[in-house]
Amino acid sequence: MRALIIGGTGFIGQHLVNHLNNPIIAGRSLKKIKNRSPGYEARQWDPTQSLGPGFFDGVDGVFHLAGESIFHGRWNVAKKERIRNSRVESTRRLVDGIGRSAVKPRVLVCSSAVGIYGDRGDEPLTESSRPGDDFLAKVCRDWEQEALRAQEFGVRVVLIRTGVVLGRNGGALAQMLPPFRLGLGGRLGNGRQYMPWIHIEDLCRIMLKAMEDGHLSGPVNAAAPNPVTNRAFTHALAQALHRPALFPMPAFFLKIVVGEFADVLLASQRVQPEVLDKSDFTFHYPDINSALSNLISNR
Ligand SMILES: NC(=O)c1ccc[n+]([C@@H]2O[C@H](COP(=O)([O-])OP(=O)(O)OC[C@H]3O[C@@H](n4cnc5c(N)ncnc54)[C@H](OP(=O)(O)O)[C@@H]3O)[C@@H](O)[C@H]2O)c1
């Protein structure tokens, strides 16, 4: 099966490329694709524009991973519009393009996020739990609705509700490691919020399964089966680095430093990967200590 990865130049896409046989990479700039993934076939698409003809030629399955980063930059009105449009509107144009195309992919694996559940304390959350109603939850819900429209064109759609991805060379860990290495890390707020996380290798294996397993469709929680509180995560990371974590960041201070993004860091989602459990998926990194020791010892 030949795959096309939209947003393949990003943190997850760059890992996923290594799990696929001769994928095609799509993004806004051919130059960026050539720099990040030399030797791969590249296709250009600016998600603010309609898709041109021939975009799906030779493509069996599409991974849609593009989206404005939620981690970098302050969440002002313009940033929030980019976060939303680069997911919801881009997915609408992608699915419209599938509808118009004579050659259609068989499957669309679209990224989503555990943010869809909002802030839910210690309530166990499965794929059938109701969505939340904050900004990110609404973005995720609308993003998923747009992706699901591809079913009208006979395309199988899998929605990967991704937890915080732990991997090398980017993502959340790259932001956390510098202060923790200096012994300046600490819990966020009271640290009681659950933080669903996943090792990048397990996430790529879930994405491959989503592409290949014809029985899988709809939402899939991509989060390790043992979610931890932020306090437990802080402790595990400090231990893996052999450093203390003595500097908790109170919620009010976090809000001053990062603005509205603090709500994401303080939200609690105790997510369970029920669909994967039922489909006999085996996590290589089911607990936080094994994931961190793999990522930190091999750096
Ligand atoms: N990393 C995580 O922990 C995590 C957790 C949950 C969900 N997710 C979701 O998984 C997807 C991939 O995550 P990632 O960490 O790989 O993302 P990333 O590295 O921040 O970005 C992925 C790609 O999106 C494209 N992009 C960036 N800004 C854009 C914009 N304004 N409009 C259109 N395209 C834009 C870029 O590709 P080009 O420049 O080549 O176009 C970029 O390489 C995202 O949708 C993210 O929300 C990630």
Q: Report pLDDT digits (tens) over 31-59.
A: 999 999 999 999 999 999 999 999 999 99
What is the fold, at CATH topology level, of the domain defined by 3-297? Rossmann fold (3.40.50)
CA of 246 to the centre of ligand 1 (A): 32
Q: How far is the CA of 67 from the centre of ligand 1 (A)?
A: 4
Select from 12, 14, 199 the residue to mutate for testing ligand 1; criterion: most ligand atoms less than 8 Å from CB. Answer: 12
DSSP state of 131: P
Average of per-residue pLDDT across 185-196: 95
Q: Is the pLDDT of residue 254 over 90?
A: no
Number of neighbours of residue 279 by Cβ within 10 angstroms: 14
Cβ–ligand 1 distance for 115 under 6 Å, the answer no
Parse the chain into domains and list their residue ranges: 3-297
For residue 73, is pLDDT > 90? no
Q: How far is the CA of 244 from the centre of ligand 1 (A)?
A: 32
For range 242-256, the mean pLDDT: 89
Per-residue pLDDT tens digits for 143-185: 999 999 999 999 999 999 999 999 998 999 998 999 999 999 9
Alpha carbons within 13 angstroms on the beta-carbon side of residue 162 total 24
Q: Locate the ligand 1 atom nearest the alpha carbon of residue 164 and give its number.
A: 3
* pTM (whole model) above 0.95: yes
- 13 touches ligand 1 (CB under 6 Å): yes
Instruction: Choose the residue to mutate in 46, 79, 159, 162 for probing ligand 1, maximizing ligand atoms within 8 Å of C-beta.
Output: 162
Angstrom distances, CA of residue 160 to CA of 8, 54, 211, 240, 287: 16, 26, 11, 28, 20
Give, using CA atoms, the residue closest to atom 28 of ligand 1: 68
